[in-house]
Amino acid sequence: MSDDNDFDIRLGKLEAEREIKNLKAAYAGLCDAGYPPAPLVAQFTEDGIFDGGERFGIHKGHDELMAYFDGVSKQIVWALHYMVAPAITVHDDLSRATGTWYLWEPCTLVVGGKETPTWISGKYTDEYRRVDGSWRFAHVRLVLETISDVRENWIDSPFVS
C-alpha cells in the first residue's frame, strides 16, 4: 500500500467519522423535535432497521420505520436526547462503519394515559452504510438500561411499565 493510499484511507475515515457524528446528532435533534417520520426515515437505508428491544420493538424497512416514528410521539411527548461517548469504527472500504453511543434522555413518557417525567438511559449499537455519497443508518439497536420516573429514582423504580 502506498503512502498516498494510506493517507487517503486515514483521511476518509476521519471524514466519515465526522459525518456519522453529524448523522447521529441530526437523529437526536429530529427525535427531540417530535419524531417527524419522513426526515427520520430518510436517515436509514432502504432495508434499515431500528431495534428498540421489548419496549420499542423492531422495525425493518422504510414502511415499518415510517409507522414507528409516526406513533412514537404518542408515547414520548417531549424528549432531550444526549448522545454521549461515541466510539466509531470505519471499515477500510469507507462504505461501512459501526458505532456505539450512550443515551441519557430526560423525557415526558405517557404511562397509563398519564404524562410522567422520566429518565431513560441505554446504549446504542449502530451499523452505518454509505449510500449515494451519504452515511445512513443500516441498523440502530438500543439496549435500555433504565426507564425511571424522575419523582422516584432508578434504584427504587428502575423501569416504568
Number of domains in the chain: 1
In a domain, 125, yes or no: yes
Domain that holds residue 62: 3-149
In a domain, 156, yes or no: no
Share of the chain above pLDDT 90, in %: 86
In a domain, 21, yes or no: yes
Q: How confident is the model at residue 1 (pLDDT cuts 50, 70, 90)?
A: very low
Q: Model-level pTM?
A: 0.92
pLDDT digits (tens, 9 = 90+) for 44-91: 999 999 999 999 999 999 999 999 999 999 999 999 999 999 999 999
Q: How confident is the model at residue 18 (pLDDT cuts 50, 70, 90)?
A: very high
Among candidate residues 124, 136, 135, the one with its CA nearest the CA of residue 46: 136
pLDDT digits (tens, 9 = 90+) for 127-145: 999 999 999 999 999 999 9
In a domain, 161, yes or no: no
Q: Measured between alpha carbons, how far is residue 52 from residues 65, 66, 138 in Å?
A: 12, 15, 14
Q: Which residues on neighbouring strands pair with residue 136, listed in sequence order?
A: 129
Query: What would the DSSP string read from start to end of 79-146?
Result: E--EEEEEEEEE-TTSSEEEEEEEEEEEEEEEETTEEEEEEEEEEEEEEEEEETTEEEEEEEEEEEEE
Q: What is the CATH number of the domain that holds 46?
A: 3.10.450.50
In a domain, 96, yes or no: yes
As a whole number, the mean pLDDT across the chain is 94
Cα dihedral 123, 128, 134, 136, rounded to 10, equals -60
pLDDT recorded at residue 138: 98
In a domain, 133, yes or no: yes
User: Pairing state of beta strands 96-111 and 82-90?
Assistant: antiparallel
